[in-house]
Chains A and B, each alone.
Chain A
Amino acid sequence: EAGVAQSPRYKIIEKRQSVAFWCNPISGHATLYWYQQILGQGPKLLIQFQNNGVVDDSQLPKDRFSAERLKGVDSTLKIQPAKLEDSAVYLCASSGRTAANYGYTFGSGTRLTVV
């Protein structure tokens, strides 16, 4: 089973620029999550999709962050304009919601540095 794919692996941008991250979940997984992990912290949920609908975006800074999941498969997360405090690893995860493994499978993340 292929894992959760994310790209790019690394991105360096200047503050006030825009950036986009891409995620391809495990085939058949209906639920997709974006998490932000700041250095030295645990991941923090930004948004959860069920198929192509948003289930929870209560912690997404909507003035600068946006996310979409067209066709219920791939997803993109965008930041515009970026701030220095957005420097973090952005993790995508997907869940098949099986009883045997009610945890997520995470991708390796995109490491964003804002300078």
Chain B
Amino acid sequence: QKEVEQDPGPLSVPEGAIVSLNCTYSNSAFQYFMWYRQYSRKGPELLMYTYSSGNKEDGRFTAQVDKSSKYISLFIRDSQPSDSATYLCAMRMYSGGGADGLTFGKGTHLIIQP
């Protein structure tokens, strides 16, 4: 079993729809959770960063973490064609200032149809 599971898609939705992206993980030591967006032939770009369980909102994006279920989600409201990209969940353990490499999911390829 991989440490982080993410459905690769593709996920195709019409413009304006609410998008839900999810990851599950197995390592209970993960404490920091991130969502990255990656356009074709570009590096990942940080969208959301959360530490604790609960919700965090930033504009059209909401990140949700449920540590008891080892489940994280990203919601995109009012989706736009420009949101079409691959979305990667990532997470890491507490590092105490040392090694803090991220463990990524495979990424979900999202397509927003105009």
Q: Tell me the A residues contacting B by CB distance below 8 Å.
A: 4, 31, 33, 40-45, 48, 55-56, 91, 93, 95, 101-109, 111
Contacts and interface: CB of A to CB of B under 8 A. Distances in A.
B43 A40 contact: no
Nearest to B90: A42
Interface of B: 4, 6, 8, 32, 34, 36, 41-46, 49, 88, 90, 98-107
B8 A45 contact: no
Contacts of A55: 98-99
A36 B83 CA distance: 24
Contacts of A42: 4, 6, 88, 90, 104-107
A56 B101 CA distance: 8
Contacts of B103: 45
Contacts of A105: 46
A56 to B, nearest CB: 4
Contacts, number: 56
Nearest to B107: A42
B109 to A, nearest CB: 9
A31 B100 CA distance: 10
A75 to B, nearest CB: 15
Given A33-B101, A48-B100, A106 B49 contact: no
A48 B45 contact: no
Contacts of B98: 55-56
A2 to B, nearest CB: 14
B101 to A, nearest CB: 4
Contact of A101 (B46, B102, B106): B46
Contacts of B46: 101, 103-105
A42 to B, nearest CB: 3
Contacts of B36: 103
A40 B7 CA distance: 11
A40 B8 contact: yes
A91 B44 CA distance: 9
Contacts of A104: 46, 102
Nearest to A104: B46
B101 A103 contact: no
